Structure 1
Amino acid sequence: MGAAVRYVRILLLALSLFFVFFSPVSAKWAYPFVVNEGSLFVITEEVVDEALLGEVVGKVTNHSSDEAAYHGGNFSNQFPKGTKYYAIQGTPSEEAIAIRTKEGTYIKAIYEGEYNGGDEFYLVILRWLLIAIAVIGIPVMVTRLVKRRKS
């Protein structure tokens, strides 16, 4: 009887972990930003005069409001795909850039550091690995339990 209780406990633990890791979660970003060539720029409310705009230094290639998704390329959590980034005259592009808003104005984004948003990709792999373990492990445990009860 002790083995059966142990298998039931393992099964309950596996199911609990499954629901913990796979329950739907919606995470929102802490602040609006854009990524340009791996550099994270935080959006400010400071308007940039159009006369101060330099050349285009990039554009949004990926957009998502879901923090848990993998985000590669020139990414933004606020601006749609295709939104352009501009240099600001007198300011190095490594420090700040301007972004055109949907209203047609330009706002400043300040360099915050390197973007490490791709780290969530490893969580996706971990979740799929746990699913595979559950899909394979639970039937094996149930099969063993049934065989032991028959013998």
Structure 2
Amino acid sequence: MKRKSVTFIAGIMVLFFSLPQDIYATSWAYSFVVWEGYVYQVTDEEVERIEEEIGKVTAFSDMDQLPGNFSNAYREGTKYFSIEGTDPSEAIAVEISEDLYVKAYKEHEYLVKGINDNTGISFSGLFLTGLLAFVGVSAYQFRKNIRKKS
């Protein structure tokens, strides 16, 4: 009986750890900013004519991906502007110093979401909770059986 329980729990643990996990790299291929849920790759191309301020960096890290208007290169407060004659869904301007702006091109959707953006329950989290509950109940039953025998 004991051997079957240990084998079952080991099988469950192997299954759990073989599930895909989200892994985020901390090595960046290029400098970027996130705006409106999309990554914009920042270039060296200077922008002469900006229109209006459309946002700013709300989170900076050169090590971790963060939710919001995140950047791996520009500090919090760095401003984004629309570019005269360019749709912001294609490119935006990033202010790198007073009166100096560079172009950032839209690349892809930014997949990191904030804590409040998560609308579902993680399968692995749910599975781990169930596994812990199973182990707890099994341990309780085991102790109960031992006490009856003594």
Which of 109, 112, 124 in structure 2 is aligned with 1:117?
A: 112
Partner of 1:42: 41
CA contact (8 A) 1:40 1:114 kept: yes
Which of 86, 94, 117 in structure 2 is aligned with 1:91?
A: 86
TM-score, normalized by length of structure 1? 0.66
C-alpha spacing 1:114/1:18, structure 2 compared with 1 (3 Å): closer
Give the match's secondary structure for 1:101.
strand
Q: What amino acid is aligned across from residue 66 of structure 1 in structure 2?
A: D
Cα distance in 2 for residues equivalent to 1:57 and 1:39: 14
CA contact (8 A) 1:48 1:107 kept: yes
Q: CA deviation at 1:118?
A: 2.6
Deviation per residue, 1:96-146 (Å, 9 max, x gap): 111123698432110124433339957984444344223322222233344
Cα distance in 2 for residues equivalent to 1:102 and 1:14: 55
Q: What amino acid is aligned across from residue 4 of structure 1 in structure 2?
A: K
- Structure scoring higher RCO (CA < 8 A, sep ≥ 6) equals 1
Which of 125, 129, 133 in structure 1 is aligned with 2:126?
A: 129
Structure 2: gaps of 5 or more residues: none
Q: What amino acid is aligned across from residue 86 of structure 1 in structure 2?
A: F
Q: What amino acid is aligned across from residue 133 of structure 1 in structure 2?
A: G
Q: What amino acid is aligned across from residue 7 of structure 1 in structure 2?
A: S
Which structure has more helix as a fraction of its residues? 1
Q: CA deviation at 1:61?
A: 2.0
* TM alignment of 1:29-68, pairs within 5 A: 29-44=28-43, 46-49=44-47, 51-64=48-61, 65-67=63-65
Give the match's secondary structure for 1:54.
strand
Give the match's secondary structure for 1:144.
helix
Indicate the percent of aligned positions where both proteins have the same amino acid: 34
C-alpha spacing 1:145/1:122, structure 2 compared with 1 (3 Å): farther
Cα distance in 2 for residues equivalent to 1:82 and 1:32: 16
